[in-house]
Amino acid sequence: MSFNTLGLSTELLHAVADQGYSEPTPIQIQAIPPILQGRDIMASAQTGTGKTAGFTLPILQRLSAQALAKGRRPIRVLILTPTRELATQVGESVHTYGKYLPLRSTVIFGGVKINPQIAKLRQGVDILVATPGRLLDHVGQKTLDLSQVEILVLDEADRMLDMGFVHDIRKILALVPQHRQTLMFSATFSPRSKGSLTICSGLPL
* Residue 111 interacts with ligand AMP (CB under 6 A): yes or no: no
- If DSSP codes are grouped into helix, strand and coil, which group holds residue 131? coil
Q: Is 18 helix (H, G, I), strand (E, B) or coil?
A: helix
Q: What residue type is assigned to position 22 of the chain?
A: S
In the list 5, 47, 123, 141, the residue contacting ligand AMP (rule: CB under 6 A) is: 47
- Residue 130 pairs in a beta bridge with 80, 108
25 touching ligand AMP, by CB under 6 A: yes
Binders in 51-70 for ligand AMP, by CB under 6 A: 51-53
Specify the stretch interacting with ligand AMP by CB under 6 A; choose among 30-38, 47-55, 126-134, 153-161: 47-55
| 111-127 burial: b if 16+ Cβ within 10 Å, else e | eeeeeebeebbeeebbb
| φ, ψ at 43 (rounded to 5°) | -130, 140
Q: How far is the CB of 143 from ligand AMP (least distance, A)?
A: 29
- 79 beta partners: 129, 153
Within 13 Å, how many C-alpha atoms sit on residue 18's CB side?
A: 13
**CB of 71 vs ligand AMP, minimal distance in Å:** 34
| Residue in 11, 13, 39, 50 binding ligand AMP, rule: CB under 6 A | 50
Nearer to ligand AMP, 96 or 143 (CB): 96
Q: CA torsion, points 141, 178, 120, 60, in degrees to nearest 10?
A: 170
Q: Does 48 bind ligand AMP (CB under 6 A)?
A: yes
| Residue from 9, 11, 13, 21 in contact with ligand AMP (CB under 6 A) | 21
| Closest chain position to ligand AMP (CB) | 52
Contact residues for ligand AMP (CB under 6 A)? Answer: 21, 24-25, 28, 47-53
